[in-house]
Copies of this chain bind each other. A is one copy, B any other.
Amino acid sequence: MAERATARRVQRDVARQPRGDVTRQAILDAAESLFANVGYAAARLEDVALEVGIRRPSIIYYFPGKQQLYDEVEASIFAAMRAFVHERMAQAHDPMAQLLTLLDAWLDFLVARPTAARIIQRLAADHGPRGDNPVEFSDPVLRDLERVIGAGVAAGVFAPVSAMHVLNAVSAGPLFYVCNANQLGTDRRYDPADPTELAAFRALQHKLARAAVTA
């Protein structure tokens, strides 16, 4: 998928990596697709190995087990998402601009990396991979939203609203927009990366975000 390749290029320059790192990254890419498609519980290291074209023991050389491999995938998703957001946020100053910039950045990130959208989507339903501390890797991303909402409320620009309600009610949208593209039946199929489709969804998100923080 072209969009995903673009998103990945932001993070690394494959040509400059030593051979071991290239294999390691190939394992992570294959694992991200597999965890996205079948979920943590059903994913098997054998299938990751098959996709990369190596044998199972070669994965164990890089990652001791499925949990560690999953952890690295989830950590890399939230780290990349956060870096992407912070780059954009540097230009936004008042609370409303910050909120819209944050939501736009999440939307663009997820459209460019749909495997991340599916994995985050599963995090809401799964007790599995992050059982003890479900926000081990996502916490900084959640705190970004809490900080923006909190600053707007403190400045009297936003009505008092729970940041987690905004998360559930507004930020869930981009996840469904990306994940549902082929899940609503043939007649309702759409391309989340199509510029017209994306612009319409973004405009709707902006409306909802403004409504959520306005009295």
Residues of A within 8 A of B (CB): 36-39, 41-42, 118, 121-128, 130, 133-135, 139, 142, 161-162, 164-170, 172-173, 175-177, 179-180, 182-185, 188, 190, 200-201, 204-205, 207-208, 210-212, 214
Contact = CB atoms under 8 A, between A and B. Distances in A.
A39 B41 contact: yes
Secondary structure class of chain A's binding surface, majority of residues: helix
Given A139-B185, A211-B207, A169 B124 contact: no
B37 A39 contact: no
Contacts of A122: 39, 122, 125
Given A125-B118, A182-B134, A183-B134, A169 B204 contact: yes
A89 to B, nearest CB: 21
Contact of A125 (B36, B208, B214): B36
Contact of A200 (B39, B121, B165, B201): B165
A39 B36 CA distance: 13
Contacts of A212: 204, 207-208
Given A41-B38, A211-B210, A184 B121 contact: no
Most B CB within 10 A of own CB, among A125, A139, A166, A173: A125
Contacts of A139: 185
B164 A168 contact: no
Nearest to A136: B185
29 contacts: A36-B125, A38-B41, A38-B128, A39-B42, A41-B42, A42-B42, A118-B125, A121-B125, A122-B122, A124-B179, A125-B125, A130-B183, A133-B185, A134-B182, A134-B185, A135-B183, A135-B185, A135-B188, A142-B185, A162-B200, A164-B180, A164-B190, A165-B177, A165-B201, A167-B176, A168-B176, A169-B177, A172-B172, A210-B211
